[in-house]
């Protein structure tokens, strides 16, 4: 009890004094390590999934649901974690989410069938939801928006290490006979334990708590609505027709649950998603853009590893190497753009360029076939990576710049919620389209060979098929993959249209700037929560100086305006 009390006191005092760059990096070290674990686990598994599903005798539907289940759990839990961050200790919450993630990862490695794997991936997704929501909230609670782009560069470095190393490590694990795919889940556990220790020792945050009143009814309603929607898109076209009484019943039920959720949120004292936030034009448009970006990005790119392994016959290790251009584009663009935003305080231009690049990359990938030259595919994937890197995190930054401190967690998690919701919908819908197209193309190709298509839905192992049939399978998956990228391109266009209507508001130079918040059309908090200011003693970049110079009201010219260079 006394130890907890001393921790709370330490956290409270942490917000009273300005933090140097070194102190901020110490505070973020454990958080970055936790993010690395989440990214590593995701990228390791994604590259190994074709082999995992084949070993567990699953089909295309199981492949889709292994991914969708994690996204669904992340989607539902993200706003809950974000709301709790506004009510209680962020440090305790990020540690709890890390523990949940560890348990889910270790249990997933013990799975004996696809049902068990999907269930444990749900647990893993609950922890990932906490890491997704809390990383941005904690970063925003100690760093002003103008300086935040600089520290997003460190997040980009962690993403680089996890996303580039993950697929390669996953491929090596799967291709190493004495390890096997189960170690794809076990490998992150030591890193996660290290993250817990580092977080306990280094993370000190302002302690600002309120009475915890979790909206469990709202959480249940949104979970039911989203789950029903995803179950519909997963089963439609396979178990029943897209236009059928089952479709009508599921869609109407999901819509009714969504309406009930909104009504509950309007009446509950501590809603998971405060409806008044949507009066903020920037947040509303960012939500639309994030939903579209998530749908296009997750829905199309999650099947790339399957494309390289099945359609092009690459090993898991080589398939990981093949996707590097997209990862390099993502990391390079997010890091460089983050620096430029911190230097000049302008962000909308990069969102627009990112949207254009994302649309172009997806549309060009729509021309992919089994025999498309890899050099051409590498350019297309690089464009997609650049587009995602410029849009995804900067949409969150735009929202954080326009909300008061006491709603930072809820606002940040709303954007992440709709991005992961879009991803879950995209994976389910485009996964269903992929399965349908593959079946149709294979039936046509096998008919030309005089072979009757089997009714099984398992993913094929190209290595065991006769050459003529293997060629049909490769062509079918290549053509079907191109189709889902073509579908994703107009979805990304919706994101670009929403971005064009977002009004650029100058980045605030303080963590909680009431004037900047009011410029966005939202009332500022009557008593801003204490937050650490940035005092970088090692540089003279934008925002450097004492805490006093960053407080809103000290200089009217600073309110809502970028610092001069």
CATH value at residue 173: 1.20.1250.20
Domain edge (last residue) among 205, 226, 256? 205
Say if residue 255 is in the same domain as residue 292: no
Determine the pLDDT at residue 465: 80
Query: Residue 116 has which token pair?
Result: 């068990």
Say if residue 258 is in the same domain as residue 279: no
Domain edge (last residue) among 473, 506, 539? 506
Determine the pLDDT at residue 370: 93
Say if residue 334 is in the same domain as residue 370: yes
In a domain, 560, yes or no: no
Determine the pLDDT at residue 486: 95
Say if residue 281 is in the same domain as residue 265: no
pLDDT-flagged residues of the chain (< 70) = 1-19, 149, 152-153, 156-157, 159-161, 163-164, 206-212, 453-461, 509-565
Say if residue 233 is in the same domain as residue 195: no
In a domain, 545, yes or no: no
Say if residue 177 is in the same domain as residue 314: no
Query: Residue 91 has which token pair?
Result: 């440090």
The pair phi, psi for residue 421, each rounded to 5°, is -60, -45
Q: DSSP assignment of 35-98, as one string?
A: HHHHHHHHHHHHHHHHHHHHHTT-BHHHHHHHHHHHHHHHHHHHHHHHHHHHHS-HHHHHHHHH
- Coil, strand or helix: which one is 373? coil
Q: Would you say 261 and 227 are in contact if contact means Cβ atoms under 8 Å apart?
A: no
Domain edge (last residue) among 181, 205, 229? 205
Relative orientation angle of helices 21-55 and 60-87, to the nearest 10 degrees: 160
**What is the rounded distance in angstroms from the CA atom of residue 389 to the CA atom of residue 353?**
11
Determine the pLDDT at residue 396: 85
Determine the pLDDT at residue 67: 77
Determine the pLDDT at residue 103: 93
Q: Would you say 337 and 349 are in contact if contact means Cβ atoms under 8 Å apart?
A: no
Number of domains in the chain: 3
Relative orientation angle of helices 324-344 and 145-175, to the nearest 10 degrees: 170
- Coil, strand or helix: which one is 534? strand
Q: Would you say 511 and 139 are in contact if contact means Cβ atoms under 8 Å apart?
A: no
Q: Would you say 256 and 266 are in contact if contact means Cβ atoms under 8 Å apart?
A: no
Say if residue 131 is in the same domain as residue 114: yes
- Report pTM: 0.74
Residue numbers of the domain that contains 256: 215-269
Name the residue among 204, 206, 148, 141 with its Cα closest to residue 511. 141
**What is the rounded distance in angstroms from the CA atom of residue 247 to the CA atom of residue 236?**
7
**What is the rounded distance in angstroms from the CA atom of residue 505 to the CA atom of residue 509?**
12
Say if residue 101 is in the same domain as residue 225: no
Say if residue 287 is in the same domain as residue 422: yes
- Coil, strand or helix: which one is 19? strand
**What is the rounded distance in angstroms from the CA atom of residue 494 to the CA atom of residue 428?**
19
Say if residue 24 is in the same domain as residue 85: yes
Determine the pLDDT at residue 287: 94
């Amino acid at each position: 009890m006394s130890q907890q009390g001393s921790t709370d006191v330490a956290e409270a005092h942490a917000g009273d004094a300005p933090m140097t760059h070194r102190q901020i990096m110490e505070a973020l070290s454990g958080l970055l390590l936790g993010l690395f674990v989440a990214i590593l686990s995701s990228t390791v598994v994604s590259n190994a999934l074709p082999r995992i599903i084949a070993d567990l005798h699953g089909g295309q539907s199981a492949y889709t649901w292994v991914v969708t289940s994690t996204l669904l759990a992340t989607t539902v839990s993200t706003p809950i974690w974000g709301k709790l961050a506004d009510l209680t200790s962020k440090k305790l919450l990020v540690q709890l989410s890390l523990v949940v993630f560890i348990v889910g990862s270790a249990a997933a490695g013990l799975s004996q069938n696809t049902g068990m794997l999907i269930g444990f991936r749900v647990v893993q997704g609950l922890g990932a939801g906490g890491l997704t929501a809390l990383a941005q909230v904690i970063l925003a609670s100690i760093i002003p928006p103008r300086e935040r782009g600089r520290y997003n560069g460190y997040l980009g470095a962690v993403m680089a290490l996890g996303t580039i190393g993950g697929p390669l490590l996953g491929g090596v694990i799967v291709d190493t006979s004495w390890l096997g795919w189960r170690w794809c889940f076990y490998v992150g556990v030591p890193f996660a334990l290290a993250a817990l220790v580092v977080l306990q020792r280094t993370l000190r945050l302002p302690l600002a708590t309120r009475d915890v009143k979790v909206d469990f009814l709202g959480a249940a309603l949104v979970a039911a609505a989203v789950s029903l929607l995803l179950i519909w898109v997963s089963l439609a076209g396979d178990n029943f027709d897209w236009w059928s009484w089952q479709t009508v019943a599921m869609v109407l039920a999901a819509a009714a649950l969504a309406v009930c959720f909104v009504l509950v949120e309007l009446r509950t004292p501590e809603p998971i998603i405060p409806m008044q936030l949507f009066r903020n034009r920037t947040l509303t448009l960012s939500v639309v853009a994030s939903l579209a970006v998530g749908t296009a990005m997750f829905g199309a790119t999650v099947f790339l590893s399957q494309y390289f392994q099945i359609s092009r016959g690459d090993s898991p290790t080589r398939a990981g190497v093949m996707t590097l251009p997209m990862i390099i584009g993502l990391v390079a663009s997010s890091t460089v753009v983050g620096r430029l935003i911190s230097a000049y305080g302008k962000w909308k231009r990069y969102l627009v360029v990112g949207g254009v690049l994302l649309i172009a990359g997806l549309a060009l990938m729509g021309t992919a076939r089994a025999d498309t030259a890899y050099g051409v595919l590498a350019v297309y994937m690089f464009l997609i990576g650049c587009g995602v890197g410029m849009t995804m995190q900067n949409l969150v930054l735009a929202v954080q710049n326009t909300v008061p401190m006491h709603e930072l967690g809820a606002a940040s998690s709303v954007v992440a919620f709709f991005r992961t919701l879009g991803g879950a919908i995209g994976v389910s819908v485009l996964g269903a389209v992929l399965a349908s197209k593959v079946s149709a193309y294979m039936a046509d190709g096998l008919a030309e060979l005089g072979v009757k298509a089997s009714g099984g839905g398992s993913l094929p192992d190209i290595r065991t098929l006769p050459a003529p049939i293997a060629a049909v399978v490769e062509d079918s998956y290549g053509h079907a993959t191109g189709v889902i990228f073509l579908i994703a391109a107009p979805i990304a266009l919706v994101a670009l249209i929403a971005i064009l209507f977002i009004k650029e508001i100058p980045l605030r130079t303080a963590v909680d700037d009431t004037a900047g918040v009011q410029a966005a059309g939202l009332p500022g908090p009557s008593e801003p929560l204490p937050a650490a200011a940035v005092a970088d003693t090692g540089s003279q970049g934008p925002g450097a100086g004492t805490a006093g110079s960053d407080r809103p009201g000290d200089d009217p010219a600073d309110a809502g305006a970028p610092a001069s260079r």
